[in-house]
């Protein structure tokens, strides 16, 4: 499906995704399925006061310090898009329509282009080429923005299918040559890409995210009882979603 045809809301995009899958696995509320958890968490972070919650979550991440700081400054104006459809790994090449990745979400601001890769709380692993593909994709699609690959619910060493747990750099570097060979000219060499990993990739575990939101809920008050109660309800729904999917 072309991105222009995607429905506008996160729930509508989740349902669009479900329509292509075996819907029986979504019984019991889709418990343990990463798309459902991601939607529940991002909807809450989209609606909660961003300078207190989304910014705090980004600040609690590890990696890409300078880029995260820039995104934090722009969280109020950022656009959060769930299940944004196919993204070419190198949009300038002839293989653009066939060599693709599918971000779980995008967070785009005036200065930062964030590719979100979410993993479920229960055991899951990256496909062998996945991290290398996503690094190249976010670098190639960022345009004038600073690229950020945001690993949601992930903490290095990362689990890679068939290879066990690996350091993040190793998981990317192992398959980067093959990805670049298929991607064609992206204007950056393998060596240059690897030097940028520390500036481009960030991550946060689900427990850290939950602890961050819980701490922000405990300290938040705007002085209006109804608004404060609304913030508490929304934040607790996020925490309940994480607990439910654990």
Q: Which residues fall within 8 angstroms of residue 173, CB to CB, at 6 or more apart?
A: 132, 194
Segments of the chain with pLDDT less than 70: 1-7, 28-29, 94-96
pLDDT at 242: 94
pLDDT at 32: 77
pLDDT at 1: 40
pTM equals 0.90
Q: Which residues fall within 8 angstroms of residue 43, CB to CB, at 6 or more apart?
A: 10, 11
Domain count, the chain: 1
Q: What's CA 16's distance to the chain center, in Å?
A: 19
pLDDT at 7: 67
Q: pLDDT (tens digit, 9 = 90+) per residue, 37-93? A: 999 999 999 999 999 999 999 999 999 999 999 999 999 999 999 988 899 999 887
Distance (Å, whole) CA 16 – CA 60: 31
Give the domain extent around 174. 3-245
């Amino acid at each position: 499906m072309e991105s222009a045809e995607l429905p506008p809301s996160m729930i509508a995009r989740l349902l669009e995704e479900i329509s292509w899958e075996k819907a029986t696995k979504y019984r019991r509320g889709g418990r343990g399925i990463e798309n459902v958890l991601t939607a529940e968490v991002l909807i809450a972070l989209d609606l909660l006061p961003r300078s207190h919650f989304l910014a705090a979550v980004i600040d609690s991440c590890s990696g890409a310090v300078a880029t995260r700081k820039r995104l934090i400054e722009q969280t109020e104006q950022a656009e959060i898009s769930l299940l944004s459809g196919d993204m070419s790994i190198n949009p300038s090449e002839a293989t653009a329509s066939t060599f693709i990745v599918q971000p779980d979400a995008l967070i785009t601001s005036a200065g930062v282009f964030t590719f979100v890769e979410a993993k479920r709380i229960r055991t899951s692993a990256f496909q062998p080429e996945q991290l290398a593909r996503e690094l190249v994709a976010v670098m190639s699609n960022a345009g004038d923005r600073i690229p950020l690959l945001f690993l949601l619910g992930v903490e290095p060493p990362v689990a890679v299918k068939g290879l066990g747990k690996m350091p993040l750099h190793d998981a990317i570097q192992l398959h980067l040559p093959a990805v670049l060979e298929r991607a064609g000219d992206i204007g950056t060499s393998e060596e240059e890409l690897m030097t940028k990993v520390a500036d481009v990739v960030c991550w946060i575990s689900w427990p850290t995210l939950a602890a961050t939101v819980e701490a922000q809920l405990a300290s938040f008050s705007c002085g209006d009882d109804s608004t404060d109660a609304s913030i508490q309800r929304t934040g607790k729904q996020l925490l309940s979603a994480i607990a439910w999917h654990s």
